[in-house]
Amino acid sequence: MKIITTKQDLQAAVQECKKAGKTIGLVPTMGALHQGHASLVKRAVKENDICVVSVFVNPTQFNNKEDLAKYPRNIERDAELLSSIGAQYVFAPTPEEMYSAEEMNTTFEFDFAGLDKVMEGKMRPGHFNGVVQVVSRLFYLVQPDKGYFGEKDFQQLAIIHHMVERSSMAGTFGNLQIIDCPIVREESGLALSSRNERLSAQEKETALAISKTLFSSLKWAKEEGATVAQVQQRVIDTINAVEGLEVEYYEIVDQTTLLPTSTFDHAIGCVTVYCGPVRLIDNIKY
């Protein structure tokens, strides 16, 4: 496995692979890798000749500078994991390598068709501008055949699908496919997240109430016949009743439009919860 730190070296490696007729799978990450990331990489390795993994904590998608500073970083451990599961290239640039000074200080503009105005977008203004900025940059640099993204960040995934469709990237790069990969959970049910590293043992135990409540909500919807509004409120009340947890939002929305829905058909429930100072997200499909 080779670690690449410059755009020039990355593009040279990509061109060499392309000339040899090899397919490329890309897994964009911000590092602090766990088994959820590993599942994406293993799939990319299996489905492509070459797997490129980016490890880059993207400053333009953080509207909270303190959150950016506290985001866990461990490139040595990340590289060890990626090497063990078969990734051929790791792209680990600095912010200065990735962006010009002007790009770092200018909001990246994109028409999200309203997908950025709800849930995470509402709570984190500008966040998805940064996501689209970095992911589009990675697509142009790597020119992958397939890009792999986890469903835990469901709103982000919906926006990336929209970006690819709107930008005609599929045509530009032959046939770029976005591969949706299911949430990976601990045995306890807690969704794997890089932010879990910031939880104490007690906080991890407390955070289990998030996934347990979401799974219970399936029963409330399907077996008890509760309405969408009733399930939504019950999830919020149940999680908020746990000491140490505070719901920022819980929305039941259409999986395509991300707009609130009154039916469970094609619906997904997306939640953000503060466990102490740590902000956790999860979701459940109905």
Active-site residue list: 37
**What does DSSP say about strands 267-275 and 245-254: parallel, antiparallel, or unpaired?**
antiparallel
How far is it, in rounded angstroms, from Cα 173 to Cα 66? 37
* Structural tokens at position 168: 């005609």
Place of tokens 């395509």: 256
Residues 6+ apart with CB under 8 A from 183: 36, 150, 151, 152, 191, 192, 282, 283
Helices marked H in the chain — which ranges?
A: 7-19, 35-47, 65-70, 75-84, 95-98, 101-104, 120-123, 127-142, 154-166, 169-172, 201-222, 228-240
How far is it, in rounded angstroms, from Cα 217 to Cα 158? 23
How far is it, in rounded angstroms, from Cα 243 to Cα 131? 33
Give the total residue count for the chain.
Answer: 286
CA-only gyration radius of the chain, Å: 19
Place of tokens 């347990």: 212
